[in-house]
Copies of this chain bind each other. A is one copy, B any other.
Amino acid sequence: MESNIYIGLVHHPIYDKRKEVVATAITNFDIHDIARCAKTFGVGGFFIITPLESQVQLADRILRHWREGTGSVYNPTRKESFSLVRVSRTIDEADREIFNLWQTKVKRVATGASPHPKNIDFGFLRNLLKDEKTPFFLLFGTGWGLTQEVKDSSDYILAPIAGKGYNHLSVRSAVAIILDRLLGDRMNSLE
């Protein structure tokens, strides 16, 4: 059965160090680590979102290598996880692709490292996701995170991962932890 949960790795619009809106470059490790997490937790699709044509081509080349090229023979499990990956120019373009599959409005969930007045907690979202008739699109920002506008226009904004006075995880680690909290096997991980 098709999963109703999709993730997007946003390279634009996001902030840089000085809080200016930029487009970041694609990071090879992001694609591998996040695709493997997506496959582990049964996500329906993983969208790499970048408006830059050169980056779209780079992503396509990496995907082809692992899906059809020598990478697919060298490491068949990588091929399996890469089958979930798509490339889109914008968040809206990815959203439309999900809409076309489901024919119903896609609920967007923004994530981030800072608290927001509209934050929902992990337990709340975990329950929401059980509504298998509604597609959910979880957005993760690269660089210094999703813009305020992306957050404000989302249906939900997930609470940050609360660290011990330090909130500077890589986006790869954040995706791993968030997918585990939302979709991971709870029987084995709790007290």
Interface string of A150-179 (1 = CB under 8 A from B): 000000000101111011111011111100
- Is A123 among interface residues, defined by CB-CB distance under 8 A? yes
Of all chain B residues, the one with the shortest Cβ separation from A180 is: B177
- Is A181 among interface residues, defined by CB-CB distance under 8 A? yes
Q: Is the CB of B40 within 8 A of A127?
A: no
Closest chain-B Cβ to A7's Cβ sits at a distance in Å of 13
Q: Return chain B residues, CB-CB under 8 Å to A172.
A: 29, 33, 170, 172-173, 176
Q: Return chain B residues, CB-CB under 8 Å to A166.
A: 36, 39-40, 77, 80-81
Q: Is the CB of A162 within 8 A of B191?
A: no
Interface residues on A, range: 35 or more
Closest chain-B Cβ to A172's Cβ sits at a distance in Å of 6
Q: Is the CB of B37 within 8 A of A173?
A: yes
Q: Is the CB of B188 within 8 A of A36?
A: no
Q: Once bound together, how far apart are the Cα atoms of A173 and B126, in whole Å?
A: 20
Q: Is the CB of A173 within 8 A of B176?
A: yes
Q: Return chain B residues, CB-CB under 8 Å to A32.
A: 170
Given A180-B181, A184-B177, residue A161 in contact with residue B40 (CB < 8 A): yes
User: Which of A173, A185, A188, A191 has most chain B Cβ within 10 Å?
Assistant: A173
Q: Is the CB of A37 within 8 A of B169?
A: yes
Given A123-B189, A123-B190, A126-B191, residue A169 in contact with residue B176 (CB < 8 A): yes
Closest chain-B Cβ to A60's Cβ sits at a distance in Å of 22
**For window 58-116 of chain A, which residues contact chain B by CB distance below 8 Å?**
77-78, 80-81
Given A33-B173, A39-B168, A166-B39, residue A127 in contact with residue B191 (CB < 8 A): yes
Q: Is the CB of B184 within 8 A of A161?
A: yes
Of the candidates B40, B122, B161, which one forms a contact with A169 in the assembled complex, judged by CB atoms under 8 Å apart?
Answer: B40
Q: Return chain B residues, CB-CB under 8 Å to A123.
A: 188-191
Q: Return chain B residues, CB-CB under 8 Å to A181.
A: 180, 189
